[in-house]
Structure 1
């Protein structure tokens, strides 16, 4: 099996490579290729990978390239996690709307739209390259905004694109831990779009509903991230457990004030990552130790703006070996070995959410086998959730069309339709601000 990692110099690549080391024999993996436009970043990460392999005592050779065709040719699986515009772009994504009193988080609100406008054309090129040189390959997409990127690339590769996000599965594991249950023995009734989903119930093997009891227990809610973020009163009003990113919708003004007081996470990561990649050296154990220390600092700030807005102190609940790399390995294992495992993934709706069309990419439980993910019907959902999902799906599709056409009119329309943008004039100001500060956006949307 040939597996290619696009974005081979990315900071989280060692997580994926470590998971591959653990599953090398089961997956029949014999070739790993790292592709990146920046060879120096791949060199830095390569030393970390050497350290991992030595530590585990497993040999899984990899090679690096800056030639996309060479990287994907005849690949069985292509993992992709890229950041077009690097972290400098993320800082601008967040800062421009914030200057107008509007939330600009990485994947939510105007920030997510601008990120998608830059990213979708690049991902479309990748999908076209795969169609030409790896027509039987699977694209496993980690690139944010994951829902929009998955839907845009499915227009080219169809159901051979699977979107991965570890946020829903992470929430489900935390809920299971509070309940004292094995997550694999529970059914999580989750539905939505990427970074816009809700857990409407949890059931055990008897079919008994379990979520209502958890939502009634304030002490239990205080023991995990989502319970602390949203608080018992609001969760009992919703009668569901929202994905953590919905905090930015339910408490947008609070989050804007918190970011203004403490700075955005993008600014923190920009400085941290600059320092990490500048410390290049050939000593593999030292590179691995440096990466682990940097990762801990990185992960503890995840969702920091939301926690600050909620008045929480402390760090993000860090889980070892349970992030998107585990989700990706589970998908590959399910396809290669036809395990029919149930995973929450981003894929075409078919009929999972009856108020959306069959090609709309949704984030729902799927049964995954040799033919890929098959979404499970969700059934009835609350009207407020269906309404927000429908609105955001329109925003996503307008953004995709804007990115592929270079239409300023569509880009402004996408911003104006977003629930977090207060007016059409504000949408125009935000787009103009992005275009002034992002040369690649100015070029793509030249008048």
Structure 2
């Protein structure tokens, strides 16, 4: 099988290739095509992949190209991991929002909306091109904001585009470990939107073990989300939220911490990755070892401001390694290509799963996956507190899609103003002004 990675010069591509190296079964991916518009980044990542493949006799072959049509033709799977505007754009998203006193995180709040407004037009164009050049390919989307971008692409690719995220996987595995259950055998009752979901149950052998966790303060305080949100709040919710809900439940504290930080997360990653790619220009530099050190630093500092606010301490060793989205991607490809049925938490079209949303709304829920794609599993209705957040954020996503499709500045303002973490229409208007000043890619938004 041929896998094409859009954004093939991206820093996390070696995680995907590393997962592929462990797959030796018949029908595995035998060729990986890396496509990127940045030749330097592409060359650097190709070096890392060559070192990863050393000593693996059946390692998938790699091809690099800056020709998009060449990359797509004949692809069985297309992995989309692009970053429109690069990390420079992410840093600008954060700064513009923080200057207005609101959150600038890349997938949540004002920063996520700005990122979406830049990304959706590009992702939509890619979806149209894939539909034309590789109509039988399955598209695995990891481009953020993952749920929004998956929904935009689904308008042209239907159910052949599936969004993935490592957050629900990591959360489910942490809960299972705390409860002494095998994460690979536990059923995770997870529901919501991307970066806006809750674990409402964890079943082992037909028995829901989550009440045992919620009833034990010591257990609740022994894993990352328990320390992040606090045992009292988790018991009050009767569920364990995705870590990104910390931005909603403790927004004031999070914004203060981000404003007081020496640099934003985007600025940190920009400097870190610039250093990595610069070192890769030295032909004598050990590519894989350099990449691995950089990755370890990246993982250790993930959501550090939120953990500081909550007094949650350092990340656990088990959360610093690989085993996240790249394993979800591999399991998804195996299930589709070989009809190896699997249950995975994915971003797919709703199709009536959540009655509060229409059929085409992309949601994040457990899915049964087979050769015909991903099929969302029926779930219990959302509690009202979750309905409020899910429907409000979906309205924001629809406004972003409207703005990207029509070029309407009014729709862009509406997207910001409707978000629960933007507290004023006036702020929303200033955010649109600020983002259009710093992002040439938003020039498509008309002016009054």
Shorter-chain TM-score bucket reads over 0.9
Q: Does 1:375 align with 2:388?
A: no
Give the conservation status (yes or no) of the 8 Å contact 1:47–1:284: no
Alignment match, 1:197: 197
Q: 1:59 to 1:185 in 2, by over 3 A?
A: closer
Residues of 2 paired with 1:141 and 1:309: CA distance? 31
Alignment match, 2:32: 32
Q: How does the TM-score come out when normalised to structure 1? A: 0.97
- 1:92-112 deviation per Cα after TM superposition (whole angstroms, max 9, x unaligned): 111111111111111000100
Residues of 1 paired with 2:203 and 2:30: CA distance? 40
Q: Does 1:269 align with 2:269?
A: yes
Residues of 2 paired with 1:313 and 1:344: CA distance? 28
Residues of 2 paired with 1:282 and 1:300: CA distance? 26
Give the conservation status (yes or no) of the 8 Å contact 2:9–2:42: yes
- Give the superposition deviation at 1:218: 2.0
SS at 2:200 equivalent: strand
Residues of 1 paired with 2:106 and 2:55: CA distance? 34
- Give the superposition deviation at 1:56: 4.1
SS at 1:404 equivalent: helix
The 10-residue stretch of structure 1 (28-37 or 172-181) with the greater mean CA deviation from structure 2: 28-37
Give the conservation status (yes or no) of the 8 Å contact 1:50–1:284: no
Give the conservation status (yes or no) of the 8 Å contact 1:48–1:291: yes
Q: Does 1:344 align with 2:309?
A: no
Residues of 2 paired with 1:408 and 1:24: CA distance? 50
What's the RMSD between the two structures over aligned residues?
A: 1.4
SS at 2:208 equivalent: coil
The 10-residue stretch of structure 1 (295-304 or 28-37) with the greater mean CA deviation from structure 2: 28-37
Residues of 1 paired with 2:65 and 2:310: CA distance? 44
Alignment match, 1:239: 238
Residues of 2 paired with 1:115 and 1:152: CA distance? 14
Residues 83-94 of structure 1: pairs in structure 2 closer than 5 A: 83-94=83-94
- Structure 2 gaps of 5+ residues are none
- 1:130-149 deviation per Cα after TM superposition (whole angstroms, max 9, x unaligned): 11110000110000000000
Q: How does the TM-score come out when normalised to structure 2? A: 0.97
Residues 355-370 of structure 1: pairs in structure 2 closer than 5 A: 355-370=356-371
Alignment match, 2:210: 211
- Give the superposition deviation at 1:226: 0.7
SS at 1:426 equivalent: helix
Alignment match, 1:124: 124
Residues 46-445 of structure 1: pairs in structure 2 closer than 5 A: 46-205=46-205, 207-262=206-261, 263-281=263-281, 286-315=286-315, 318-441=319-442, 443-445=443-445
- Structure 1 gaps of 5+ residues are none
- Give the superposition deviation at 1:309: 1.9
Give the conservation status (yes or no) of the 8 Å contact 2:299–2:320: no
Q: 1:315 to 1:261 in 2, by over 3 A?
A: farther
- Give the superposition deviation at 1:440: 1.8
Q: Does 1:3 align with 2:3?
A: yes
SS at 1:200 equivalent: strand
> How many residues end up aligned between the 2 structures?
445
- 1:356-409 deviation per Cα after TM superposition (whole angstroms, max 9, x unaligned): 111110000000000100000112221110121111111111111112221110
Q: 1:378 to 1:437 in 2, by over 3 A?
A: same
